[in-house]
Amino acid sequence: MKNSEDKSKVPARVHILLARDSAIAVAIRRGPSKSVCTVLWDRANDAFNVGQWMRGRIYERRSDISPDGKHLIYFAMNGHWDSETKGSWTAISKVPFLKAATLYPKGDCWFGGGLFTRNNQYWLNQDSNTVKCDTLNLRLDSTFAPPAYGSECTSVYYVRLQRDGWRLIDRRRFTPSHEATVFEKALAYGWTLRKFAHESSAGRAKGRGCYWDDHELEREGLKEPRFEWEWAEGDASTLFWISRGRLFRGSLSAEGLQDEKLLFDFTPMEFEAIKAPY
């Protein structure tokens, strides 16, 4: 895994997909804007290994990992509209790689991506299900009918959040053109982790797109804003979060967040050509 020591770089943008039934996770790391890679995170021993890099854009909020952590479904765009992918596509790959084992060319950036409903079944977030290649023993789930949350990143992301234990609370309007959807997750010691899923470029930090998150911790009416957390997840008394391209873990007690530990810094990583072993 290549790393650069130039600390002046804009922090990497990172979003993490946690497998529900295993200790495997995949980080989707972006930066510079047209470079993206996947990183395998083995949560059993906090080992990190790069999967593959790609020149283009992966829409991490339209992506998912299978419950067993073996497969990744994602929506991507590179703008090569005359290629076999039609410039944008939904793919299923073998974790942690990006090489499409199943490929659905798309041709535009509306909808796309999908969710795993079981280890061997998935929902496709697009009307066109003409497959270009398919070497996996996975099946489309024709019975899954999620609620509709728009035609871009919210169409998959809000469904995934609720599946993974977040409660959709309400909508919050900051300005006439700036709204966020509020999600909550109850944690140990009476703490609540709150996620503000923004749908506007207003108020965003440098490097964030028009879909971005920030967070807040609350206990007994005491609110602790965590604007710098661009991704966060909690499990009982354990919290994980991304801040300025770095992954942290901490523990909650009645007194608050403690034992904060840096697990990995994604920012110094640099593009490298890696072939998938399949």
- Would you call 258 exposed, middle or buried from its count of C-beta atoms within 10 A (0-12, 13-18, 19+)? exposed
User: Is 3 inside any structural domain?
Assistant: no
What is the pTM for the complete model shown? 0.93
Instruction: State how far the Cα of 184 lies from the Cα of 238, in Å rounded to an integer.
Output: 15
User: Is 147 inside any structural domain?
Assistant: yes
For 217, the 3-state DSSP assignment is strand
Q: Where are the beta strands (DSSP E) in 23-148?
A: 24-30, 35-42, 47-55, 57-65, 71-77, 88-94, 102-105, 114-118, 121-124, 133-134, 139-140
Average pLDDT over residues 116-138: 93
Q: With contact defined as beta carbons under 8 Å apart, do 92 and 73 qualify?
A: yes
Per-residue pLDDT band for 125 (boundaries 50, 70, 90) equals very high
Instruction: State how far the Cα of 265 lies from the Cα of 262, in Å rounded to an integer.
Output: 8
238 has which bridge partners?
A: 235, 251
Whether the predicted pLDDT of 203 surpasses 70 = no
> In Å, what is the CA distance from 45 to each residue of 24, 34, 41, 48, 257?
10, 31, 9, 9, 22
Q: Which structural domain, as residue segments, surrounds residue 108?
A: 57-164
User: Is 152 inside any structural domain?
Assistant: yes
Q: With contact defined as beta carbons under 8 Å apart, do 116 and 73 qualify?
A: yes
Q: Clarify whether residues 205 and 134 are in a common domain.
A: no
Q: State percent of the chain over pLDDT 70.
A: 95
Average pLDDT over residues 32-45: 95
Q: Clarify whether residues 148 and 174 are in a common domain.
A: no
Q: Clarify whether residues 184 and 99 are in a common domain.
A: no
Tens-digit pLDDT profile for residues 4-26: 545 456 899 999 999 999 999 99
Among 164, 198, 231, identify where a domain stops.
Answer: 164
Among 115, 131, 164, identify where a domain stops.
Answer: 164
Phi then psi for 243, rounded to 5 degrees? -140, 120
Instruction: State how far the Cα of 122 lies from the Cα of 47, in Å rounded to an integer.
Output: 28
Q: What is the mean pLDDT of the chain?
A: 93
Q: Clarify whether residues 147 and 186 are in a common domain.
A: no
User: Is 196 inside any structural domain?
Assistant: yes
Q: Write the CB contacts of 17 (distance below 8 Å, at least 6 apart in sequence).
A: 25, 26, 27, 28, 60, 63, 64, 65, 72
Q: State percent of the chain over pLDDT 90.
A: 85
Q: Clarify whether residues 92 and 109 are in a common domain.
A: yes
Task: Work out the angle at residue 44's Cα, subtended by the Cα atoms of residues 42 and 47, and round it to the nearest 5 degrees.
Answer: 40
Q: Clarify whether residues 81 and 153 are in a common domain.
A: yes
Number of folded domains in the chain?
2
User: Is 45 inside any structural domain?
Assistant: no
Q: Say if strands 256-265 and 246-253 run parallel, antiparallel, or are unpaired.
A: antiparallel
Among 107, 136, 164, identify where a domain stops.
Answer: 164
Instruction: State how far the Cα of 194 lies from the Cα of 215, in Å rounded to an integer.
Output: 5
